Homo-oligomer: A and B are copies of this chain.
Amino acid sequence: MKYNVSCMLSYTVHSRAEFVFSIQAAVLEVQQVLEEELILSPEGICMEAFEIPGRPERLVRIRVDQPCYFTIGYRALVDSRPRILQPPAPDTDRTVTQLSPAVLPYLFPSRYCQSDRLFRFVQMEFESAEGNYARVEAICDWIYKNVSYVSGSTNTHTSALETISERQGVCRDFAHLGIAFCRALSIPARYFTGFAYQLLPQDFHACFEAYIGGQWIVFDPTRMVPLEGLVKTGHGLDAADAAFANIFGDATPVSVQVDCTAMEDETPDPPAGGHLLSFS
């Protein structure tokens, strides 16, 4: 389905600063960017588009050398048609020695996903489910049931361990906890970022992908949006590795506006959680 996605980020640059943005829709087999534009203000600021080898993000980096009110806007028409999968059977589960080498780094703990401290937790709560797909479903159920979505309850330092105790967070925290639980079960998992149709209020969204039966499958323990309505911007180990914006230098964020609308007469049919989807 086709979505109009857009965002507008603004910053006060006090002296000078550099930015790395990951706000463009990724170009994937299942996701086409039909039109797009990036607009910077003030005029005259240069940007460089680039990619990191082996990763899907379409990044831009920008240097602002003078104090100013800096904005970057993005607008695109994207056709996103994630593949619909059947739930992987337990006998397709892969052990570590069967995994594609490229996915191994997604087994290890990362800044916000301290899976090394959760082995006993996942054994108690999730290991009895039969097969990795059922385990990740159980993980999402646990998070949905036990963690409250509370805007503003966490900050950029909040990690999965804190969310387990404090039982509240935003989409980012839900995703980090899902990833940490998966990795503690030796299931590769990565942070998924994108635009999300029907997200209220509109913002960048985060959920996660788990690698099951040879596929990266999308899971969203917030259950706030239809997965069919996601437009992927990128993925990474966690929010540290896949932020929509990284600021280096002396600048302060002022505002973030995000929007994602479906082209008329095309709306995702299934309710949240309806289909099993992959963007890879």
Each complex incorporates copies of this chain amounting to 4
Q: Does A14 contact B (CB under 8 A)?
A: no
Q: Which one of A20, A110, A243 has the greatest number of beta carbons of chain B within 10 Å?
A: A110
Q: For chain A, what secondary structure do more than half of its interface residues adopt (helix, strand, loop), or is it mixed?
A: mixed
Docked complex Cα distance between A108 and B241 (Å): 6
Stretch at the interface among A35-43, A50-58, A72-80, A193-201: A50-58
Taking CB atoms and an 8 Å cut-off, the chain A residues in 59-106 that contact chain B are 59, 61-63, 95-97, 101-102, 104-105
Interface size on A, residues (CB 8 A): 50
CB pair B63 A120 closer than 8 Å? no
Docked complex Cα distance between A233 and B52 (Å): 24
Docked complex Cα distance between A109 and B164 (Å): 18
CB pair B167 A53 closer than 8 Å? no
CB pair A97 B240 closer than 8 Å? no
CB pair A101 B53 closer than 8 Å? yes
CB pair A165 B167 closer than 8 Å? no
What residues make up the interface of A, taking CB atoms closer than 8 Å to B? 18, 20, 48, 50-54, 59, 61-63, 95-97, 101-102, 104-105, 107-111, 113-114, 116-118, 120-121, 124, 146, 148, 156-157, 161-162, 164-168, 186, 237, 240-241, 243, 246, 248
Q: A120-B148, A120-B168 are in contact. List 7 more A-B contacts (CB 8 A).
A: A54-B54, A62-B97, A108-B241, A110-B111, A110-B237, A117-B162, A161-B165
28 pairs, A vs B, C-beta closer than 8 Å: A18-B96, A50-B101, A52-B104, A52-B105, A53-B101, A54-B54, A62-B97, A63-B95, A63-B97, A108-B240, A108-B241, A110-B240, A111-B113, A116-B156, A117-B157, A117-B162, A117-B165, A118-B165, A120-B166, A120-B167, A121-B165, A121-B166, A121-B167, A124-B146, A124-B167, A164-B164, A164-B165, A237-B237
